[in-house]
Amino acid sequence: MLANIVNLLSSACLLLGAFLIISGAVGVLRFPDFFTRMHAAGVTETLATTLILLGLMLLAGWSIISFKLLLILLFILITSPVASHALTKAALHGKLWPLVDGKNEQ
């Protein structure tokens, strides 16, 4: 009974994570410029990875594998904003200025 519930929860997490990854990919293709595409990629690297790893952790149960998955999650959550920041900063240095509509306060 409990195993069934855990399986169901983990499949829900994995499916939702997969949907978010597809959404992120669609966003990367759809959005107009580099900076807005970064936001779409941000969906895949935060909630989508968290849900996928959470689903795998539920499948693995209380074991050393879950601990390793948790470490992977922590490293991704710590390193991905640094990588995004480095990318946008490099784009600014390369004189790529974002498309802006509305207010632009410099």
Residues binding other proteins (CB under 8 A): 20, 23-24, 26-27, 30-33, 35-36, 38-40, 42-43, 46-47, 64, 67-68, 71, 77, 80-82, 84-85, 88-89, 92, 98-106
Q: Three-state secondary structure along 47-65?
A: HHHHHHHHHHHHHHCCCHH
Q: Which is nearer to other proteins, 2 or 100 (CB)?
A: 100
Contact 40, 64 (CB under 8 A): no
Tokens 């909630």 map to which residue? 47
Nearest distance in Å: CB 45, other proteins: 9
Spatial distance between the Cα atoms of 73 and 52, rounded to a whole number of angstroms: 10
Nearest distance in Å: CB 74, other proteins: 11
